[in-house]
Amino acid sequence: MEPHTPKSWSIHTRREIIAKYEILERVGSGAYSDVYRGRRLSDNLVVALKEVHDYQSAFREIEALQILRNSSNVVFLHEYFWREDGDEDAVLVLEYLRTDLAAVIKEAKRDGRGISVGEVKRWMIQILCGVDACHRNVICHRDLKPSNLLVSDDGVLKLADFGQYGKPCGYFLWYDPEMCHHGTDNGHVEQSMLP
């Protein structure tokens, strides 16, 4: 893994952010973002501050989270900040969840204790509720994986990282995902998916 290289713009230098939030530590990074654990100064609420370095990813994520605002299985967006000089960076203030499903699975394997069937069922239901909320709002997440499924301390699972989300093609529940992704349509529709 490459060492983290500082971006031209840093969350630490934004006056409107540091006036409202204390930045505690960097907790993760991805292809288009860095995530920090922070504390809202007005009420000491611990939040995630996600600095997104790509305009399209930031725009998509903000749009999706605003649409899905009332879903209990989607991470909550408190507010966001755009860079004033028109650069591509934005900061999203999200609810903070300490871990993700990938880390939970890794820890369970390392400890040799596994994950109970009941817990797996509970998380599957929560994933399906989150995906249902997306699909009811015509949102296709497009990047569901264990590291994008955040888990709260009390076991609530929430979908996160909507930077790759897109509007589905056609009747998205009926088409093969590869057709939507590649923008082709050979007329093939899964018979089992038709109403």
Select which of 143, 153, 154, 176 is catalytic: 143
Q: Which residues contact 30 (CB under 8 A, 6 or more apart)?
A: 161
Tokens 């009926």 belong to 174
- Beta bridge partners, 21, equal 40
Q: In the β-sheet with 21-29, what is the strand arrangement from edge to edge? A: 21-29, 33-40, 46-52, 90-95, 77-82
Can 43 be counted among the known catalytic residues? no
Residue 158 is assigned to a ligand binding site? no
Give residue 68's identity as a one-letter amino acid code. Answer: L
- Residues 3 and 95: their CA atoms lie apart, in Å, by 27
In this structure, what token pair is assigned to residue 195?
A: 């109403």
What's the rounded Cα separation, in Å, for the pair 144 and 80?
23
- Size of the chain, expressed as the number of residues it contains: 195
Q: Which amino acid is at 55?
A: Y
Residue 1 tokens, joined: 């893994």
Binding residues for ATP: 50
What amino acid positions are annotated as catalytic residues? 143
